[in-house]
Structure 1
Amino acid sequence: MSFIKHFRIALSLVLLVPFAPGFAEDNQTRIVILGARTSQGHGVHEFFSGVRALETMITESGSFEKGTELHVEAFPFGWTEETSLDGATTLVMYFDGRRENPLQDAAVRSAVSRFVSDGGSLVSVHHAAFTDDEALRPSLKSWFGGTLPADGGLAHAFFSVSATENDHPAGRGVGKIAYVDEAYPPLDFDNESGRVRPVVTGKIVPLSGAANAKAPEPRQGVAAWAYERADGGRSFTFTGGNELSAFDVPRVRTLLLNGIAWASRVEIPETGVPTRADPALAAKLLNPRHGKDPFTVSAMMTAEEYSVMQLDWGRIDWHVTGPMGNTDVLTTGIAIVDVGKSNPRHYHPNCDEVLHVVEGHILHTMDDVTVEMKAGDTVSIPKGVYHNATNIGDTKAVLAISFDSAWREVIGE
């Protein structure tokens, strides 16, 4: 249960580029960025923070506003009732298409399909162009010009890749990129149309591990490509971005911004699209205390120093949180639910929660499962699971709550 919105600050504006008749208005570029509501933790597949990073990188660029009015709309936690592609220039997607894929929702898939058919441009970061859904794979291949084959796997690898020498605009200013990310076997490309253009290629060296009998062999691979679709739209794909830290690699930033600009029909400078975004933007989204001295001194809080939230269903006394400055790693507090009251259904995208009933009698719902809990009972709630508590007793319910992040986030209905 946590009910404070400790959102990590990111700029919220919009970017768009005029391109196809019937889409963005003249002299407007509207870019929609779509993420997902869960992560693997510790900056891995933290798509919601990556969406915020992309939004800030774009709005702090300056290149997207030249000769056009920029609008950027970010949906870090996935498709919502407010998400619309009407009038959009480009849809940027950053999520795990093999797990929590918004395109598996028929209504979302239909909206994106119409957008593509009308010439809308697409950008895929990491797994968004991949899927385990055999019915969806042909659409992804036709939209992006390539996808992961049905029997495709993945592995952590050292990328030593460079912009190709085919003079594609998305490769401007990128040069050589060397860092650890996730790599894939040979991809299933549309090799017949001649419209797929590799942008970043090179040597990919899988990291050895317990599953490898010997050091794996390096291979040549494509890490990013551009696709001029037959419908007139453009698609750009970058397979990196497994970890949020990739967004702080300068040349990866240039590549991503170039790809979004190219898809949006924005002019790309010879040195690549710049950004004024903080060089440690992704690190600070993951940990707002990044760059500051770590918390190493014991700190005692008196009851008068707790951060108290009075709510219409009760209250929360926060004892230890990142914003309070007395921890770097966790959040703890006491939630008190009044008789007959419920807190709103919500989930935590970046942390697990442990709830322990100190006093009282509650019904606790987690997704579609409801359990009755009394004093002494404890429940562990994984990140991404919707949950809430209802006090069904005749006294106030006192709940000890803790989270494995000092900067936990909450998304409620």
Structure 2
Amino acid sequence: MKTPTLLLALLALTLGARADLTEEQRRVPLEAPSPDPKLAKIVLIAGSVSNKPGQHEYFAGCALMMDWLKQTKGVWPVLVSEGWPKNEAILDGAKAIVVYADGGVKLPFLEPERWAHVKRLMDAGTGFVMLHQSVDIPDEQADDLKSWLGAAFQKDIGCRGHWDMEFSDFPPHPITRGVAAFAAPLDGWLYNLHFAPGVTPLLSGTVPEKSRSSADAKTHPDRTEVIAWAYERPNGGRSFGYTGCDLHRNWQIESQRRLVTNGILWAAKMEVPSAGAPVTFNPANLATNLDFKPAPPPKAAAPAPAPAQ
């Protein structure tokens, strides 16, 4: 007897509930199995609570990406919270894995068993997408990540910071279909990564010269810097990286939504429509599924100066 699809979804919602999720977030199905094996499963891995309100909204951002991916026929997006699935079997058979999380030592799958699991997926040709700080990697895993994603951010040459960026020149590629010139104000960026041979730059832009914090970056004054790229791995797997997406409000930019959605579909070996993926968006949804980030305690008032003698 087959378990009804609705029951499976409710079971996944119950099993996936995490103690630190908000009441609203608990209503979003987590690790929900596909009702049809013919659908292209795309797993969206959201990192843990991080940074200030409106920044690093990994859960809310992944929930929005779920909505946009559902607008493409034949896709089954799956949301995972807290950086790694409770049921690792949900990763099996995925056409692509998307990681939207903190990087460095906080990258959620650095521990050996998880890293080995991701390696098996990469060896099998699973699509791979990494957004924002997740591209930052400790030295020990940098070679692996570069071979999977086509790039790795490391402190030896990498630079990062917040500034306005504008993009207007896009190479012909399925990921850039339907992407028009756009500006992303005051977003957070990482650049000057270690790139693998064969990477295709998709977005490049001007950065403030004062942001060139590494010795290597300072040897390239006025160079436009790669912010997004595509990579076809030797085993046929596809990868897409974009180091923006720090500010949650910038998901209202249609070209950013389309670029990221196109990139996910391409990595999953789905056909990207000639006009780009549909990414219909209700601005009110920006305020949904946000992490609970309590305001920091007020700073103690400075003591009054002693009266003059």
So what's the TM-score if we normalise by structure 1?
A: 0.59
State which of 161, 166, 172 in structure 2 corresponds to 1:160: 166
Residue identity in the other structure for 1:135? E
State which of 40, 43, 47 in structure 1 corresponds to 2:58: 47
User: Is contact 1:130–1:140 with CA below 8 Å preserved after alignment?
Assistant: no
Higher relative CO (CA 8 A, sep ≥ 6), structure 1 or 2?
Answer: 2
Residue identity in the other structure for 2:232? E
The corresponding residue for 1:148 is 153
User: Is contact 1:161–1:176 with CA below 8 Å preserved after alignment?
Assistant: yes
Q: Which runs of 5+ in 1 are unaligned?
A: 17-23, 209-216, 287-348, 355-379, 381-413
Q: Which runs of 5+ in 2 are unaligned?
A: 1-18, 212-220, 298-309
The corresponding residue for 2:112 is 106
User: Is contact 1:51–1:76 with CA below 8 Å preserved after alignment?
Assistant: no
The corresponding residue for 1:243 is 247
The corresponding residue for 2:122 is 116
- Alpha carbons of 1:5 and 1:175: their partners in 2 closer, same or farther (altered >3 Å)? closer
Q: Report how many aligned residue pairs link the two structures.
A: 266
State which of 277, 283, 299 in structure 2 corresponds to 1:273: 277
Deviation, structure 1 residue 222: 1.1
The corresponding residue for 1:263 is 267
The secondary structure found in structure 2 opposite 1:102 is coil
1:291-370 equivalent positions in 2, closer than 5 A: 350-352=292-294
> How many angstroms apart in 2 are the aligned matches of 1:3 and 1:86?
26
The secondary structure found in structure 2 opposite 1:237 is strand
Task: Please state which structure has a larger fraction of its residues in helix.
Answer: 2
Residue identity in the other structure for 1:200? L
State which of 190, 195, 198 in structure 2 corresponds to 1:189: 195
> How many angstroms apart in 2 are the aligned matches of 1:154 and 1:243?
14
> How many angstroms apart in 2 are the aligned matches of 1:246 and 1:277?
12
Residue identity in the other structure for 1:36? G
The secondary structure found in structure 1 opposite 2:94 is coil
* Pairwise CA RMSD: 2.9
Task: Please state which structure has a larger fraction of its residues in strand.
Answer: 1
> How many angstroms apart in 1 are the aligned matches of 2:174 and 2:31?
22
> How many angstroms apart in 2 are the aligned matches of 1:175 and 1:10?
34
Deviation, structure 1 residue 9: 7.9
> How many angstroms apart in 2 are the aligned matches of 1:147 and 1:12?
32
The secondary structure found in structure 2 opposite 1:136 is helix
Please say if 1:135 is aligned against 2:137.
Answer: no
Q: Deviations over 1:199-247 (max 9, x none)?
A: 1222234789xxxxxxxx7641111110000111000001101111122
Deviation, structure 1 residue 89: 0.7
Q: Deviations over 1:86-121 (max 9, x none)?
A: 111100000011242112122211111000001101
User: Is contact 1:39–1:350 with CA below 8 Å preserved after alignment?
Assistant: no
Deviation, structure 1 residue 74: 0.3
The secondary structure found in structure 2 opposite 1:103 is coil
- Alpha carbons of 1:78 and 1:184: their partners in 2 closer, same or farther (altered >3 Å)? closer
The corresponding residue for 2:232 is 228
The corresponding residue for 1:396 is none
Deviation, structure 1 residue 53: 1.6
> How many angstroms apart in 1 are the aligned matches of 2:86 and 2:288?
29
Q: Deviations over 1:365-388 (max 9, x none)?
A: xxxxxxxxxxxxxxx9xxxxxxxx
So what's the TM-score if we normalise by structure 2?
A: 0.77
Please say if 1:252 is aligned against 2:219.
Answer: no
> How many angstroms apart in 1 are the aligned matches of 2:234 and 2:57?
33
- Percentage of matched positions with identical amino acids: 29
Please say if 1:82 is aligned against 2:87.
Answer: yes
- Alpha carbons of 1:272 and 1:207: their partners in 2 closer, same or farther (altered >3 Å)? farther
State which of 9, 28, 31 in structure 1 corresponds to 2:39: 28
> How many angstroms apart in 1 are the aligned matches of 2:53 and 2:259?
24
